[in-house]
Amino acid sequence: MGSMLILLVIVGLAVVLAMWGVGIYNGLVTARNAFKNAFAQIDVQLQRRFDLIPNLVETAKGYLSHERQTLEAVVAARGAAINGLQAAAANPGDPAAMAELAQTQGALNGALGRLLAVVEAYPDLKASQNMMQLTEELTSTENRVAFARQAYNDAVMVYNNKREVFPSSVVAGMFRFEQAALLEIAADRAEVREAPKVQF
């Protein structure tokens, strides 16, 4: 009778321990899925931004024929940014992919900023209905990107905290829950930190 009671206690403890481990595992999976979903929102907004840029360049092209280098720089930066986004979308949270995404988006911000600074010197272009609409849409998209990036970083922080605290860290290590990287903007690069100035 005594050995049966000990056996029941051991089995009960094993069941409780297993349920506890499953709960931690499920919490980690949920947190990982949350930051991946948050990254998907960044993807959507950046795709919208990429779709606006060719129209912006085409609108400017008619007025800025001698600014070909500026226009080509925007097109090249857009291509690199698309590649950076594809790499990050394939593995959201991967430190190398997120660093590449931040770098390519920063280069695109810089190229767009230079284009929009040139546009300022052309009153007819600046007053063009098409240009005004495109820059307004670009500003709106930049705001959405910033909001989506903040939501992603918040979700990554929750996930990383969950995987680093004890006892979750034990389960995270056993099942290889890797640390996720924030989408950080380099503090020493103002063109990355700031959205292009598009007020008209």
- Rounded (10°) angle between helices 129-164 and 95-120: 160
- pLDDT, the chain, mean: 88
Q: Provide mean pLDDT across the span 65-92.
A: 92
For residue 191, pLDDT over 50 is answered with no
> In which region does residue 176 sit, left (phi positive, over 0), alpha (psi from -120 to 50) or beta (all else)?
left
Q: Where are the domains of the chain?
A: 2-193
Domain 2-193 has CATH 1.20.1300.10: no
Contact 148, 38 (CB under 8 A): yes
Q: What confidence score (pLDDT) does residue 194 get?
A: 47
Distance CA 191, CA 111 (A): 9
**Strongest mean pLDDT among 61-65, 113-117, 178-182:** 178-182
Query: Which H helix or E strand runs over 67?
Result: none
Q: What is the C-alpha separation between 155 and 120, in angstroms, rounded?
A: 38
Tell me the pTM: 0.83
Q: Is the pLDDT of residue 88 over 70?
A: yes
Question: Which pLDDT score is estimated for 47?
Answer: 95
Q: Residue 34: what pLDDT?
A: 96
196 pLDDT above the threshold of 80: no
